[in-house]
Amino acid sequence: MKVPPNTGDMDLAGVATESQLLDLIQVLYVRAGHPSYRTLETRARDAGMILSKTRAREIVNGIRLPSRDAVIALVHACGVPSEEVEPWVRAWERIASSGRHRPGAVATPEHDRLRAELRAELRAELREEIRAEIRAEAEQVLRAARAEAERVLVRARAEADQVLARARAQAGSPLTRPSAPVSVARAPLPVSDDDEFDVPPFMRR
């Protein structure tokens, strides 16, 4: 069950400066449970509003006075019901029309405590977002490397299969055909009457 943050003790009607409005926005953000900037962006988008993560970070950190639409989107994303958004818009309109930006409103102990708590939360969240982005990039690189390795393995297997098929084809067919035996007739050596042989004496007649 979603419970909207309590805004009944916020004196939005008495807001007259930019610092006062930003202080109340920070209190609202803390009471909303410190949602991530990505969550704020998603909630605003789901409601048909535009609020980037960067813009949400600027508003929550009190960097500058947000636009009217940005205030509406952020307040809505923090869980404030639609019927309770108007006082926030009226506070913004008073500041924008008066031109009193950053006059140095007096900070209360509660605001100081909330600022310190918010800064600590924002630093932790920023570190976690950076880690998440690094992990996502590393996983993407790893997936690409695995896909490339799989492609190389498939090509290597295909080439190995081709080499094996050629080797089997060559082994199945004879390399040379046996030739028919060739008979060689040996001619008798010519013997003349003049040839002399050394015949043993017992064979002589």
pLDDT per residue over 113-152, tens digit each?
666 776 676 677 777 778 888 888 888 898 889 989 989 9
Task: Tell me the C-alpha distance between 151 and 143, whole Å.
Answer: 12
Alpha-carbon dihedral sign for residues 134, 135, 140, 143: positive
**Both structure tokens of 145:** 């490397």
Cα 2 off chain centre by: 31
In the numeric block, the tokens 């060559």 are attached to 170
Percent pLDDT > 90 in the chain is 27
Q: Output the average pLDDT for the chain.
A: 79
pLDDT at 103: 41
pTM of the complete model = 0.50
Q: Are 4 and 75 in contact (CB under 8 A)?
A: no
Q: Are 49 and 80 in contact (CB under 8 A)?
A: no
Show Cβ contacts of residue 85 under 8 Å, excluding neighbours closer than 6 positions.
72, 75, 76
Assess whether pLDDT exceeds 80 at residue 83: yes
